[in-house]
Structure 1
Amino acid sequence: MSRLVLATHNAHKVEELRRILGDAGLPVELVGMDSFPDVPDTPETGVTFAENALLKAHAVAAATGLPAVADDSGLCVDVLGGAPGVFSARWSGRHGDDAANLDLLLAQVSDIADDRRGAHFACVAALALPGGAERVVEGRMTGVLVRERRGTNGFGYDPVFVPDGEERTTAEMEPEEKDAISHRGRAFRGLVPHIAELLG
């Protein structure tokens, strides 16, 4: 059985990709970065999701000697020209301050009419082999921004994002419902044929 590393310490991401690989019937043992405590995190210095995903995937493949998958994702708001984009996690200045990021975003679009509040979540997933081969897939979930937080599931911008065809925010959905339509789920599922090709 091939071993594959997902470049994250997030157990939920590992479980999500593990489920997707299992559903596809791929004989792959997936592990996260907790299995490699001596490997440092890779700085996300790229200016696109693809650059950051590839930076992380190649660094982890080189450090572990195993094929590696990495992803980078964020919220892209139409009237903000695609921002916050790759800066989504640190939009307010401090990395990972969800409440401050959300407050700033809501303030920036407070005077935007309801029919102009389009946005999408984007995720780029990258697969890199120690020998240098790479594959990249993007997944998107389009929708609109609401004016006030709704729901307690999820994280980041989930409480203000309503996917197309839904009336609930992604923070009002059950995790399984969100996984089925999410940008990350789509990117990971799109990577499955490449994993089968390169690890087969």
Structure 2
Amino acid sequence: MVQATVTFISGGARSGKSAYAERLLTNQTAGRLIYIASGVAADEEMKHRIDQHREDRRHANWHTIEQPKHLHKVLPFLKPGDLVLWDCLTTWLANEMYEGYEEGTPCVHSSGCLEQKQNQLLHTIKQMKEIVSQLVIVSNEVLDDWQQYGEETEIYRQTIGILHQQIVEFANHAIEMDHGLPIVWKGESL
């Protein structure tokens, strides 16, 4: 069975990750463009960013799936040959960590919840690899400093670091964006 090419792209805020990821897929000659968006318009800045991303994608024939949590729910919508961009892992993790917050039981404070979500995510990505042609996963490099963080921030920092390592392990390409320039850490230059 042929499996998708997986490209993992990370970098700091406004480093050009999303634009680079989009170009990688829009330059392909065949396949339906699928954009899985994890953002939630929780404030005016995020609402503006989401609206801008929607407008940008509208002109490039992207089929957008808004999926801030439970990534496995996109699987029925994917088809063989799809070119999939998931933007982004860090936003998804924050959304999942605080699922249940409104009821007073956020996942981050429920024993085993976050580990279950990590395992489900990795399983979902492997399932996606068996369906689509290409999968590009965007994530942020956050909290690299060696400062003292609060408990939840430290859990987030450690979890995103572990997920990055796990995904890069099976990815074909690992790219870090810095000042709009791709630095290839794994695989050949794209």
Greater relative CO, 1 or 2 (CA 8 Å, sep 6+):
2
Higher helix fraction (1 or 2): 2
Do these two structures clear the TM 0.5 threshold for a shared fold by scoring above it?
A: no
TM-score (structure 2 length as normaliser): 0.29
Bigger-Rg structure (1/2): 1
TM-score (structure 1 length as normaliser): 0.28
